[in-house]
Amino acid sequence: MTPPEPKARSGASTVGSNREQVRQHNLSAILRLLRQFGTMSRSALTQRTGLNRSTISDLVTELQELGLIIESEANVSQGVGRPSLMVSFSDEVVVFAVNPDTDATTVGVVTLSGKVIDKVRHTHPEVPSPNESVEIATKLISELRASMPNTYRIAGIGVAIPGQIRVEDGVVRLAPHLNWVEVPFARMLHQQTGLPVFIDNDASLGSIAERDLGAGRGFSEIVYLFGGSGGIGGGVIHGGILLRGAAGYAGELGHVRISDSPREDYSGLQGTLESLVRREDLLAALKIESADDAELEEVLSKPVSSKVQKLLEAQIDALAIAIGNYVNIFNPEIVLIAGYLVVLHSYDRDRLLSRFRWSTLTAPQDRLLVKTAELGPNLLMIGAAGLPIAPLLAEPAVTQLFPARGK
């Protein structure tokens, strides 16, 4: 029996749907290129996408009408002919980045290109409860919104939290440093701000940010380690994609056991990297109540006591063993260290690299790079901002934007 001919209306609908999908794909491709390479000319977009000039012109015009990009003449001092038009992100579409931590809550305003244009930090004497953290973040966001020009629009809020996150619904399963368990933080913050909220682990977001916009650009196999006031976290990029594991909790590199020491980390595990490399131990040895990483580097640039030197050497050796283990397991192209771990790297880079090589197989060391992260103190702001930016890059024509002077 011959199957019935499809109705003309159904065929037309399918064609229309396919055309719409192609258009969305092409709009997304342009935004992703701008995100990766920064400002580009129309001719460069044509070469990178393989689309013709007419199609690129139409797509650029549509993205301009959506308010996502702008065009400007190239800044050239000499040359013949009409200057090329350069395409870049508009700075008037922004996202909020939030980083609640044990000692402070930081909120930043970040553009689609990853530029932090405003940032406030609210210190708190005690670790905040989930409700207190939401209240602080909401207040800071409201203040930042009030200072924005009316022309600004907001894509959403990204939150970087030092803990285990169920990404699909924004629940903090466990954040031991904050003493949070099963906290629906995304829903709580959304209810207070009226904006879409996305949450992920802080170290995972740092690894993605460095992959896309920092020292990891051009690499597809990366091990990333971050040390902060909330302990040590990490992320593994494999094949250019963040390794999440079966339930989304992969990359807890700070909790890998490297010693038979009975000392516990923040999760109660003994002999781990996080238990042996602690920022507060160095502050105590230096008899300093508080200092950021840059201030610590400045202090350590001068002679220190033998007690402090022994502590630093012990922490460097522990970090070296851990890095060696990760290299043996993952065989990365590059190892990136960030946060407090950069302080150790700066104090004695040669010791770190020599001790690391003692605990690493020879073959994985070939062409391996060990570098510090590039994005500096704005790393977690840029990483968290990537969460609400991602759906906008994927579907720019349909993603909702919110006015600056909102709730």
**What is the pLDDT, as a whole number, of residue 292?**
83
pLDDT value at residue 260? 93
Q: Is the pLDDT of residue 10 over 50?
A: no
Same domain, 248 and 364: yes
pLDDT, one tens digit per residue, over 225-269 is 999 877 898 999 999 999 998 888 888 899 999 999 999 988 889
Can you give the pLDDT at residue 8?
40
Within a domain: 3 = no
Q: Are residues 398 and 326 in the same domain?
A: no
In a shared domain, residues 290 and 176: no
pLDDT of residue 111: 97
The answer on pLDDT for 75 being more than 70 is no
Same domain, 285 and 316: yes
30-34: which pairs have CB atoms within 8 A and are 24 or more residues apart?
Answer: 30/56, 30/59, 30/60, 30/63, 30/69, 30/87, 31/63, 31/68, 31/69, 31/89, 31/112, 31/392, 31/393, 31/396, 32/393, 34/69, 34/87, 34/88, 34/89, 34/112, 34/113
Residue 146 and residue 269 in one domain? no
The residue-averaged pLDDT of 292-321 equals 93
210 in a structural domain: no
31 or 14, which is more confident? 31
* Shared-domain flag, residues 164 and 46: no
Query: Which of 89, 117, 137 is where one domain is finished?
Result: 89
Residue 406 pLDDT exceeds 90: no
Select from 63, 89, 115 the last residue of a domain.
89
Q: What pLDDT, on the 0 to 100 scale, is given for residue 78?
A: 52
Q: Assess if residue 4 is contained within a domain.
A: no
188 shares a domain with 119: yes
Q: For residue 335, what is the domain's CATH number?
A: 3.30.420.40
* Average pLDDT value for residue range 85-93: 94
CATH of residue 20: 1.10.10.10
258 & 133 share domain: no
Do 369 and 260 fall into the same domain?
yes
pLDDT in the model for residue 82: 63
Using one digit for the tens of pLDDT, what is the confidence trace for 114-163?
A: 999 999 999 888 999 999 999 999 999 999 999 999 999 999 999 999 88
* Mean pLDDT to the nearest integer, 339-363: 92
Asked whether residue 246 is assigned to any structural domain, the reply reads yes
Is the domain of 123 the same as that of 185? yes
232 within a domain of the structure (yes/no): yes
Do 264 and 328 fall into the same domain? yes
Indicate if the pLDDT at residue 219 is higher than 50: yes
Residue predicted with more confidence, 95 or 80: 95
The percentage of residues in the chain with a pLDDT greater than 90, rounded to a whole number, is 75
**pTM, 2 dp:** 0.85
Question: 286 with 235, same domain?
Answer: yes
Identify the domain containing residue 43 by its residue range: 9-74+82-89
User: Is the pLDDT assigned to residue 373 strictly greater than 70?
Assistant: yes
How many domains does the chain fold into? 3
**Per-residue pLDDT at 4:** 40
Reply yes or no on whether the pLDDT at 40 is more than 60: yes
Mean pLDDT of 328-353: 94
In a domain, 211, yes or no: no
